[in-house]
Structure 1
């Protein structure tokens, strides 16, 4: 089963990882990015840089990887986020046929997301990308410059990646990420602090999933507000259900005490 690991720096990124890199204003983006990409060439990875505003890999050529930056040809134009998912899928498959160990992606989200991106759009695209990465020989670092995004967008982005690198103040209280088809891991703490991001993520998944399974092995706590958000998301899609698997005794006790074990609630705790 795919689980979160502690990733203190980009040098620890492995195949299958999907990392939110919250780049602080004072960080040397170019140096850190070059280190991450150089590790890939040493390990036999194919490199793909998407949307970088600085020449983090100027010697990149067709034999070594891809540099995709729409803004370099058409100033002001940003990469289509839907296309990013398709491109990663295509290039991960191609990299294997070409003999590379894996596809190593650096996506500079400042140039990928359109102006005014909403938390809902971020959750939709990042969760789709995460589902793809979990089943492929790829690793993707999504670089979010903290000064370029609203706090709720950064919070949402961090919550829908298995791994986070950056300022501790931006560390999400919970994380939701792909475990398998129609099954998602939920870890950390779901409480009032992350309630909005949690509601957005669950609602987005329910739009396309008749039965959403949340694996709760890593879930430490879900308080009353978190449970309200869960019931609210499920109630917005009549006929669809949420199953919380392997929740700990604390979560189960709170669930019962707050009355969510009622059959009329479209969310259920299961073994």
Structure 2
């Protein structure tokens, strides 16, 4: 199973990693991209750079995908590139996703859905995905939320809700940490996004320490978000299961199953 970890440099990344990197004001996007391309060549990987900022740089022209000009979703585009990488003789695919802030209120929700897609893509295909967020222009709370969906982090991690959700291969989604009042709304949003894609969501909770009342309410509300959906939590500890039952959530009309 993939495990969360903090990286010092990009030299430590590996296939299947989904890395969050918050760039400093002094970081040069061109230099960062150039180093990423060189590292891909060293390991025999195909490289794709997502972001319109590099369109004017001729050295990256053949590598850039502009999200605003794609025929379909970003996920579909990188899946095609991953399939092409194998046919073209590359070891794997490397994706450098430059994410820029927007003034649109709905951007955070779109980013969460996009990062869930990229996390599943990286885990299921073995591609390496680095999401580089400029440190300028972003709301701190947005960066904190986005960090929860990256099992790998480059540099100093911004304070964020005390849990992480990441893909555990074909088994489901792993949940680490504590889901409390600070992160309950975000956890519910993530679950609703997953339930919109599949009838049953399996959460592997061996590293989940606790749900507080707000966290349990968010879980219950998300499970009832769409009809005919179910959330299965596997590997829950006795404290989590007992709190769920004593709080009155273990009832038939809440489609949540907790298992040891």
TM-score (norm 1): 0.83
Helix, strand or coil at the partner of 1:53: helix
Change (3 A) 1:266 1:29: same
Q: Does 1:215 align with 2:204?
A: yes
1:105 pairs with one of 95, 98, 114: 95
Question: Which region of structure 1 is more displaced relative to structure 2, 254-263 or 93-102?
Answer: 254-263
Change (3 A) 1:193 1:79: farther
Helix, strand or coil at the partner of 2:143: helix
2:233 pairs with one of 224, 232, 244: 244
Change (3 A) 1:80 1:126: farther
Structure 1 stretches of 4+ moved >6 Å: none
1: distance between equivalents of 2:119 and 2:111? Answer: 12
After TM superposition, list the pairs within 5 Å mapping 1:123-162 onto structure 2.
Answer: 123-162=112-151
Cα drift, residue 252 of structure 1: 2.4
Q: Which residue of the partner structure matches residue 3 of structure 2?
A: 3
Cα drift, residue 205 of structure 1: 1.0
Cα drift, residue 171 of structure 1: 4.3
Q: Which residue of the partner structure matches residue 23 of structure 1?
A: 23
Q: How many residues get paired?
A: 260
2:187 pairs with one of 180, 198, 205: 198
Cα drift, residue 180 of structure 1: 4.1
Change (3 A) 1:236 1:6: same
Helix, strand or coil at the partner of 2:182: helix
Question: Which region of structure 1 is more displaced relative to structure 2, 117-126 or 223-232?
Answer: 117-126
Helix, strand or coil at the partner of 1:131: helix
Q: Does 1:92 align with 2:89?
A: no
Ranges in structure 2 where 5+ consecutive residues have no aligned partner: none
Contact 1:183 1:214 in 2 (8 A): yes
Cα drift, residue 267 of structure 1: 1.4
Cα drift, residue 28 of structure 1: 4.4
2: distance between equivalents of 1:200 and 1:231? Answer: 12
Contact 1:44 1:101 in 2 (8 A): yes
After TM superposition, list the pairs within 5 Å mapping 1:29-108 onto structure 2.
Answer: 29-51=29-51, 53=53, 59-60=59-60, 66-69=63-66, 78=68, 83-108=73-98
Cα drift, residue 229 of structure 1: 0.6
Contact 1:18 1:139 in 2 (8 A): yes
Contact 1:182 1:211 in 2 (8 A): no
Contact 1:11 1:35 in 2 (8 A): no
Contact 2:70 2:77 in 1 (8 A): no
Change (3 A) 1:169 1:221: same
Instruction: Provide, for residues 189-217 of structure 1, a one-character-per-residue CA deviation record: whole Å limited to 9, x for no partner.
Output: 21122122111101111112211111112
Change (3 A) 1:32 1:129: same
Cα drift, residue 235 of structure 1: 2.0
